Structures are given as C-alpha cells and as structure tokens.
C-alpha cells in the first residue's frame, strides 16, 4: 500500500513553499487535462439539485464501454474548482484505476456564481450532502467513494460524518491537507508569507465582485468592503450573510479539530505535510480518530503540492487512488 513514507520529491522541490506553488500552477493544470484526455473518458457537465432551490454544477467523467468499479466524488479547495490542476490529475488517476469520477464545484466556484443567489461560505455542508445524495440517485448501482483537498478535504470528512443519515452510500474517503481548525488556519494565513494571503484574497474578492454584479439587489456592498483584509472581510460577511453572528461561532461551525472526528463512521485516510505553510501540522497531532481512520504525515509536500519531479507528477493523486482502491 502506498504511504506517506514513499514520497521522495527531487531535492530542489523539498520546500513547502515550492511545493505549494508548483502544485497549482497553470502548466500542471494543462498537463492534468492532457492526462484526462489520454484516459479516453467522456466528460459532461451535470447540474445537481442540492435542495432548497440550490443548484451545484459538476463534471462527470466515464470511460465508454467499461463498467466502472465505483463512483468517486472529488471536492476542491477554497477558490479552486472542478478544473483545478489537482482535480484533473486525481480524476485521471481514478479513471485509470477503473472508477467513474464526478468533480463537484462548490457554490460560487468554477464560474457558477449565477446558479444561486446566496454567497458561498464554509458552513454550507448541507447542500453538499444533498448534492452527494442526488448524485447517488443518478448512479444507484455503484458504490461511492470521496476525496478532497484542503477545504474540500474538510467537506469530505464532514460529508462522511453525515452520509449514512442522509442516505449517501459512501464507503470510503481519502483527503489531502484538510482544514481542521479554521481559526488557526486564518491566523497562519495572516502571519505567514504575504503571497498566500494575497492569493486567497485576490481570488475571493473577485468572486464576491462577480456575485455583486449578478445580484446587485441582494449584494450591495461597495468596494471599501472588498478592500478589507481577509479577517475583517470574513467577519463582515459572517455577520451579514450567515446565522452565526460572530467569526468565532462561524469557525467553530466547520471545525473538525480535536475529537470531532472520533465517531467517524466511514473508513478514512488523511495525508498531511509537515511543512504545509497554510495549515498547521500541530493540529493533526491532537486529532482523535476511530480505528477505521488513518493519518499519514509526510516530511514534505507543502499545501496540497506533493509534486515528485520536473515532470510535475503528483504523489497525492496516486496516493488517493491507492487509498480508495484499498476499499475494494
């Protein structure tokens, strides 16, 4: 079984910052698309009814003429999309392993801002659970597995906590660098290298500006709001767009730190990098997991990077495919 101990990047890529930047660059995104095409899979957009009028868009890929061994649901990170490089590479590995794959866009990600009036926030787990249930109804004869990166890993683990009660036949999950304690992650982003803060804030404010353009009668905030720093902007939106009332309650709402996964009913595998510059690895040392879950911490990898060589091959994508196959 492939494990974190097998990850040995080339010497020049043994930096968490280098890994984090390499993992999501456009060249790697293009390579992921080439690998997807090489599988021979057909990919189509699919709109899911996520309840309460919510619609979520995803990409369904399947190799024609082959009976899939199962359906793999992939969840991207904050301000990523179904077309992110790691999503394409992971989809390709899973298709090669015999799965069919559904890459789901969260609300307001992947140019889907027009589908729903309300703004995305990280406590919108219920619509993702309902979307997974709707997906399972479309493909009722196939076992389901799930994988996610960063915030998508957080969503995948929360989905696993709720799946059985919601009628989602989820059998196994594998996640990479999941957000455990959002408050701690926010602090690290604020006080770490400015490039990460700039990256997330630039993409997020562009997303909010797009939402304002589409629904000006609902979202009438001005440019001064969009110029707030990332903590102030989050707090401003939490107070006006959610029922939580405070940043602390909002962060607590989607935290999975400490003992919150202790009763996880679905077998789970978690891959974390000790040098992740966005999510503090210390949080993982205090994580309480059931016997059916396993945590692996790699010496290298950065934040969802895990690039192996100059060809930008990714270890995390291979690792996910291996973990999800192990449940067969």
Those residues with Cβ within 8 angstroms of residue 34's Cβ, 6 or more apart along the chain or in another chain: none
Tally of domains within the chain: 1
Structural domain includes residue 207 = no
Res 115: pLDDT = 98
Classify each residue of 65-103 as buried b or exposed e, where b means 16 or more C-beta atoms within 10 Å of its C-beta.
eeebbbbbbbbbbbbbbbbbbbbbbbbbbbbebbbbbbb
Q: In which band, very low, low, confident or very high, does the pLDDT at 326 lie, cut at 50, 70 and 90?
A: confident
Q: In which band, very low, low, confident or very high, does the pLDDT at 132 lie, cut at 50, 70 and 90?
A: very high
The structure's pTM equals 0.97
Structural domain includes residue 95 = yes
Res 170: pLDDT = 97
Q: In which band, very low, low, confident or very high, does the pLDDT at 136 lie, cut at 50, 70 and 90?
A: very high
State pLDDT tens for residues 240-287: 989 999 999 999 999 999 999 999 999 999 999 999 999 999 999 999
* E strand segments, 8-156: 42-49, 55-62, 71-75, 100-104, 144-149
Structure tokens that stand for 144 in this block:
């389901």
State pLDDT tens for residues 233-252: 999 999 998 999 999 999 99
Active site residue 276: yes
Structural domain includes residue 317 = yes
H or E element that contains 249 = helix 247-254
Which of 24, 81, 84, 150 is catalytic? The answer is 150
Q: In which band, very low, low, confident or very high, does the pLDDT at 26 lie, cut at 50, 70 and 90?
A: confident
Structural domain includes residue 309 = yes
Structural domain includes residue 153 = yes
| CA-to-CA dists, residue 279 to 19, 53, 260, angstroms | 14, 33, 17
User: Is the separation of the CB atoms in 124 and 67 below 8 Å?
Assistant: no
What is the secondary structure of 134-193 as a DSSP string? HHHHHSTTS-EEEEEETHHHHHHHHHHHHTTTTT--EEEEEEES----HHHHHHHHHHS-
Average pLDDT, the chain: 96
| CA-to-CA dists, residue 40 to 37, 43, 61, 96, 321, angstroms | 6, 10, 10, 10, 18
State pLDDT tens for residues 168-196: 999 999 999 999 999 999 999 999 999 99
**What SS3 state is found at 252?**
helix
pLDDT average, residue stretch 297-316: 95
Structure tokens that stand for 174 in this block:
């594998």
Structural domain includes residue 201 = no
Q: Name the residue range of residue 175's domain.
A: 4-182+258-325
The neighbour count for residue 255, using CB atoms within 10 Å, is 20
Residue with tokens 């995803």, as numbered in its chain? 58
Structural domain includes residue 248 = no
Active site residue 309: no
Structural domain includes residue 208 = no
CATH code of 77's domain: 3.40.50.1820
Active site residue 150: yes
Res 328: pLDDT = 55
Which of 93, 276, 283, 298 is catalytic? The answer is 276
Which of 76, 89, 113, 303 is catalytic? The answer is 303
Residue with tokens 């189509």, as numbered in its chain? 44
């Amino acid at each position: 079984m492939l494990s974190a101990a097998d990850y040995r990047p080339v010497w020049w890529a043994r930096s968490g910052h280098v890994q984090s930047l390499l993992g999501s660059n456009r060249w790697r995104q293009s390579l992921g698309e080439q690998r997807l095409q090489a599988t021979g899979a057909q990919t189509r957009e699919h709109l899911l009814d996520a309840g309460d009028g919510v619609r979520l868009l995803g990409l369904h890929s399947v190799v024609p003429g082959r009976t899939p061994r199962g359906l793999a649901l992939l969840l991207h990170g904050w301000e990523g999309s179904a077309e992110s490089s790691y999503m394409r590479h992971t989809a390709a590995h899973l298709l090669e392993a015999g799965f069919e794959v559904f890459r789901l866009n969260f609300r307001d990600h992947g140019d889907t801002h027009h589908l729903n009036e309300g703004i995305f926030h990280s406590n919108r787990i219920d619509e993702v659970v309902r979307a997974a249930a709707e997906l399972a109804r479309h493909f009722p004869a196939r076992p389901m597995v799930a994988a996610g990166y960063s915030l998508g890993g957080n969503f995948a683990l929360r989905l696993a906590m709720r799946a059985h009660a919601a009628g989602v036949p989820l059998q196994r999950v594998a996640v990479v660098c999941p957000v455990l304690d959002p408050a701690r992650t926010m602090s690290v982003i604020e006080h770490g290298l400015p490039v990460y803060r700039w990256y997330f804030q630039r993409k997020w404010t562009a997303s909010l500006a797009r939402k304002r353009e589409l629904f000006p009668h609902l979202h009438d905030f001005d440019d001064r709001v969009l110029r707030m720093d990332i903590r102030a902007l989050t707090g401003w939106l939490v107070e006006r767009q959610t029922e939580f009332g405070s940043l602390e309650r909002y962060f607590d709402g989607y935290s999975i730190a400490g003992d919150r996964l202790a009763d996880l009913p679905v077998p789970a595998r978690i891959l974390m990098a000790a040098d992740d510059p966005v999510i503090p690895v210390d949080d993982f040392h205090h994580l309480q997991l059931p016997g059916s879950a396993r945590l692996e911490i790699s010496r290298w990898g950065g934040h969802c990077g895990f690039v192996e060589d100059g060809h930008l091959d990714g270890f995390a994508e291979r690792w996910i495919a291996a973990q999800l196959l192990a449940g067969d």
